[in-house]
Structure 1
Amino acid sequence: MPETLTRHLGQDAPTPRSLGFAMPAEWAPHAATWTSWPFDDELWVGHLEGVRREFAELVRTIARFEPVHLLVRDQEAEQDARTRLQGVSGVTFHRVPLDDVWFRDNGPLFVVRGQDVSFVNWEFNSWGQKFEWLLDTQAPEAVARFLEVAHWDQSVVMEGGSLELNGQGVALTTRQCLKSEFRNPGLDESDLEGILRDYLGIEKLLWLDAGLEGDHTDGHIDTITRFVDERTIVTCVCEDASDANFATMNDNLARLRAFTDAQGRPFEIVTLPLPANRLELEGKRLPPTYANFYIGNGFVVVPMYGDPNDARALEVLRPLFPGREVIGLSSRELITGGGSFHCVTQQQPAGRIWKGEDL
């Protein structure tokens, strides 16, 4: 494909912010959802079959509301996905070599300017060099080739799950993640805030300290605290005082109640219980959470774990999304990999693919 159709804009080019681009909120209209099909039973510690059953139900559900672009690692993964998704319309398959399935983090982060849609291709290093990543960090270029989009290449390590945006210039993150020593050791908070301002249009970055115990992403914000609209934040609370998450979640709650938006107004804070039951895999704690929901066109999919708090979580979330169908789907197998529905999805905003014509 000619280079002009996938024009790369490096760090010396005008920034997205200088050209009027910014990352929209997740609830803004989507053109599609991008995700990756699970593979390798060893990677899933023997849970691949169950993970694929849950994943098929997730893709079927999303495809009821919007198109799905599905990355498949190889022939086996593609054949398995096609078999399980037989009869599901609106799914486009892309053969792309991958190390894993967490496309929220290794995928591109889309930015918009009016009707123009582009993205930023950040570096991905598997949450601080914990696992293999050399294939995953190349996946955004496959998206670029398919969309034929002019886009920015940024050398800073940044993961979609580490940022939660309200679409009005405010974002949430955690120090545990963005300041971990194996991501961007030469950058301080001010540096990171400047980069996120220039490349995603984030004018005000609000810092929590830490996330869930057992989260190998080092405290991704999308497992604990989410915007549900411009002024409303839902955040996890732990009801067991003996649990290591109890103090962390209480500290987050106190900080959130003191935060203000871009106009200096306090947010409305809604609390969301964590699952009551502790889940482990090979003696290590897993981070199940209802906050890892995914918002799409007319729907929200919420992870369920066969837990006593499943129904309570849906009761909390349903009133927060008027006009959207809030759907609970099983994630008991998927969580064995350390994440859930938000972690495996990436939204492509609605609009016209930008070719860089005005540069």
Structure 2
Amino acid sequence: MALPPSLTPGDRLNIIIGVTGRATTGSRKNAGSASISDVAGSAGVSLMTVSRVINGHPRVSEETRRRVLAAIRKLNYRPIRAARDLSRGRSRSVTVMTSNTTLYGRAALLQGIEEAARYAGLHTDIGILESPRPSAVEAAIERSCDPASGGVIVIAFDLAGVRALRAIPAGIPVAAAVEINNVKDSRAYPTAALDDRAAAFAATQHLLDLGHRTVHHVSIPSSTNASARLQGWRAALREARARIPEVIAGGWTPQSGYEAGQRLAADRQVTAVLCGNDDLALGVIHALRQAGRAVPDSVSVVGFDDVPSAAFYAPPLTTVRLDFVGLGHDCFALLQHAADPDSIMPEFNAAAPKLVVRETTRPPRRP
């Protein structure tokens, strides 16, 4: 979404960053006295809405955005952080540190960050974490994290990301997307997360409500010792007083799911499976079918993420939809706040996880 053509390049630079400041130039009678409250009052919106427009948040209606930008021009409002950044020599780019750009969740999250950064007039650079080894993480940070950059967003969904997050040099604004948002440690940086625990609970509960006596789980690798999806699965089984089967540790790929599915297919007691992502579910379904166990007639399968192709699996996959793009928007807003602590703390806007019921789940057959 482009800014209105009436804005000059200088307007773009000064509007997109920060939410505090006073007017410093212009011919208005009271030049130098305009504040963010003045802008909010002139546009007839809240301070939070002005903050969202200034920080380039995509989830603002075009009509509201135009009113706020018009008020900014009318009052000649100039956030002071733009001048501060220029004096500090900060570049007009944001760096995203991640271990893998091919997995759906990371790719969609990157899309959300890039969208928000582009609207705010910033470039997005990518730093690849090739390994979780401390030496490899340090090398990636040295290679990718410029102290003069506009900040760093770390996708800390795995061990490499967690270690990178904790190793970002002081003085560089940082925010992170994490697997679980309530892990207690010494971190002093803003984080955002989707509620994977509640999502896995709902997916497991769906299978139990259909009449399955228990639900098996093929897990994805976790950044912690207590995966959020694993926690939600176990909590639902405990609440239902159902047997908690042994977890099958999977990877990220359909091949990993296929290998897990071969083990599951050999156990005739297995009637329901929750997979840690949709790629694992694809492999599990293929292995079950090869073993003569039709989905969902013999075994029900639920995935996670709702990749664009999930609706076109054979059969279409029941899965949990996660708003990774919205999470990317939230991470960018958090980074803007980290770079300017005097600004208003942004609200989280990523949509809550949603169970999408399609054709891979049904009540179990009874003898």
> Considering the TM-score relative to the shorter chain, is it more than 0.5?
no
Tell me the TM-score normalised to structure 2 length: 0.25
Q: Which of the pair has more CA radius of gyration?
A: 2
- More strand as a share of residues: 1
Which of structures 1 and 2 has the larger relative contact order (alpha carbons within 8 angstroms, sep 6+)? Answer: 1
Tell me the TM-score normalised to structure 1 length: 0.26
